[in-house]
Amino acid sequence: MDQLLIGLLIGVLVGAGVIYAVLNANFKRTLETRSNADTEIREAAQREAETIRREAEAVKLQATTLKAQAESDAARIKQDVELRARDEALAFQNKLESELRTKFELESNREREVIKADRETIKADRDGLKSERDGLRSEREELRLESERLSRRGEQMDTRASKLDQLEETLETDKKRTAELQISLEQKIHESELKLYEVAQLTREDAAKQILEKLDDELEEEKVVRIRTMMNRVNLDVKRQSQSIIAQAIQRSASETTAQISVSVVPIPSDAMKGRIIGREGRNIRAFEALTGVDLIIDDTPEAVILSSFNPIRREVAVKALEQLVGDGRIHPTRIEEVVQKAQDEMKTYILERGEEAAIEANVVGLKPGLLQLMGRMHFRTSYAQNVLKHSIQVAHLTGIMAAELGLDAVMARRAGLLHDIGKSIDREIEGTHVDIGITLAKRFGEPFEVIDAIAHHHDPENGESVYSVLAAAADAISAARPGARREDLETYVKRLQQLETIAVSFPGVENAFAIQAGREVRVIVQPEKVSDSKATMLAREIATRIEQDMEYPGQVQVTVVREMRSVEYAR
């Protein structure tokens, strides 16, 4: 701190000197440059110099004062530090003495406790030796008494042994008498059986046969009842679990349903464009239809033309080509050929993009470009007016959710669900069902066995070899059965209901049948005198099997057999 004050003082003095030197130099230059100035200016300069000199002396005096004050503060601080150090040393010494005193007292008390405990232990040992001596004396007395009791008990045992010998002799006599009675009883039973055979006119084998037949009938009825009870219980548990899993899958997958038609409408800027589309003597429209394979319909519809084709890909190519021709305005056969070729190339890219988007949306990776191209083609394929690509994506989501709930491989399930209808991408171009085509395509692109099995058996899961075919079939039925997902004409719908009722009525004992719930259930009324309760269960299974073999239908059909017996009488 002293050094800081001294440095500050030196700095102030040096600054004052510099200021004085600068001002003096300025003053001299002023005198030299203004030698002809008046006396008043010179006197003012002298007064200013005198003022600066006095200020410098005042600053010097202030610095001297600050130095003295700093020295006194440093001495006071040094004295305070020495006093504080002396006080802390005294406090530490007192604390150390107190801790040593406390430790000595604790050690002394611990030694006293140890000595006291040793004394008590010695005293307890002495008391224990005394009690052991007393115990030995009492044990000797007890041994003497015990020996006397044993001698008396030996005498009693001899008496009992003699009595046991007498009882054994009596028991032997009773055994011989019992054997004689048993032989006599068996003879009487045999005589009774002979008399029973004579009265009933039945041999032993015939009677046993009748009893067993009656028992078989009773057991058959009981077996049917037990089987039906267990099946109902199992079906109820399975139904609850399946409903829970399917409900979760449906709730978590609510993709929209779309419908495609066989015509597309292309807007045009004005009706004058229709003449340019037709061309001279119809050459433009003929060239367009020949290149695209689509019918171009030009009628009285204002500012619009219609493209008609059952091939949605060709129709989409024609729409893109016609929109480009109308926008360009140049319509002639050469230009039409160029635009159609360009639209076809763009369509290939568009189809591949749709396939890639579907795979991403279904969370399925590792598909080969050929499969993605085929999947993109399903964007333009419909089944009962349901878009097949959207349907496949939805089936993939449903199978993945159900597989996750069941602890299976959700990735494999989504892959099987996405590719289950892959055969529909080209089933209109080559021979064969979409199932056979799908199996061939899956094998060609090296898909796993589970995927191939799901493609092969998503319409008949009971013949599948893996559980993924069952999941694919269930998800396929759920997606197809969504309200508004599919449309069918009235004639097909009525025929399916009639066929269901005809199959049910064809079985013996069936009185009537009714197809309800839009063909999802068949109520079968049977004649109670011809069909028993046990046969009703078998009849329901036979009708369901027949429906599976003879019909094609979306979803599933529930068969309910109703047997009712009523006995009515009037009391008058």
Residue 204: inside a domain, yes or no? no
CATH of the domain at 551: 3.30.300.20
Are residues 521 and 431 part of one domain?
no
* Mean pLDDT on 121-149: 78
Residues forming beta bridges with residue 513, ordered by sequence position:
524
Are residues 437 and 513 part of one domain?
no
Task: Tell me the pLDDT band of 246, cut-offs 50, 70 and 90.
Answer: low
**Burial, 56: exposed, middle or buried (Cβ in 10 Å; 0-12, 13-18, 19+)?**
middle
Instruction: Give per-residue pLDDT as tens, 320-361.
Output: 888 888 888 788 888 888 888 888 888 888 888 888 988 898
Residue 235: inside a domain, yes or no? no
Answer yes or no: is pLDDT of 82 > 80.
no
Are residues 279 and 363 part of one domain?
yes
If one counts the domains in the chain, the total is 3
Residue 255: inside a domain, yes or no? no
Task: Tell me the pLDDT band of 217, cut-offs 50, 70 and 90.
Answer: low
Question: What predicted TM-score, i.e. pTM, was given to this entire model?
Answer: 0.44
Residue 90: inside a domain, yes or no? yes
Which of 392, 314, 317 minimizes the C-alpha distance to 355? 392
Answer yes or no: is pLDDT of 253 > 70.
no
The Cα diameter of the chain in Å comes to 183
Left (φ > 0), alpha (ψ -120 to 50) or beta: where does 363 sit?
Answer: left
Are residues 345 and 474 part of one domain?
yes
Return the H-helix or E-strand segment holding 264.
strand 263-267
Q: Give the model's pLDDT for residue 257.
A: 39
The CA distance from 111 to 204, in Å, is 102
Are residues 415 and 325 part of one domain?
yes
Backbone angles phi, psi at 208, to 5 degrees: -65, -35
Residue 294's domain spans which residues? 263-480
- The most confident of the ranges 84-88, 162-166, 521-525 is 521-525
Percent of the residues in the chain that have a pLDDT greater than 70, as a whole number:
79
- Of 480, 507, 523, the residue that ends a domain is 480
Residues forming beta bridges with residue 561, ordered by sequence position:
524
Are residues 175 and 68 part of one domain?
yes
Task: Tell me the pLDDT band of 1, cut-offs 50, 70 and 90.
Answer: low
Answer yes or no: is pLDDT of 129 > 60.
yes
**C-alpha triplet 2, 5, 9: angle, nearest 5°:** 135
Q: Give the model's pLDDT for residue 254.
A: 46
Answer yes or no: is pLDDT of 131 > 70.
yes
Residue 211: inside a domain, yes or no? no
Length of the chain: 572
Q: Give the model's pLDDT for residue 25.
A: 67
Are residues 165 and 290 part of one domain?
no
Are residues 514 and 461 part of one domain?
no
Q: Which of 27-41, 416-430, 460-474 has the lowest mean pLDDT?
A: 27-41
Are residues 505 and 426 part of one domain?
no
Are residues 516 and 440 part of one domain?
no
Residue 354: inside a domain, yes or no? yes
Are residues 505 and 388 part of one domain?
no
Are residues 388 and 429 part of one domain?
yes
The CA distance from 139 to 147, in Å, is 12
- Of 433, 454, 480, the residue that ends a domain is 480
Q: Give the model's pLDDT for residue 22.
A: 63
Instruction: Give per-residue pLDDT as tens, 276-326.
Output: 888 888 888 888 888 888 888 887 777 788 888 877 888 888 888 888 888
What's the mean per-residue pLDDT of the chain?
78
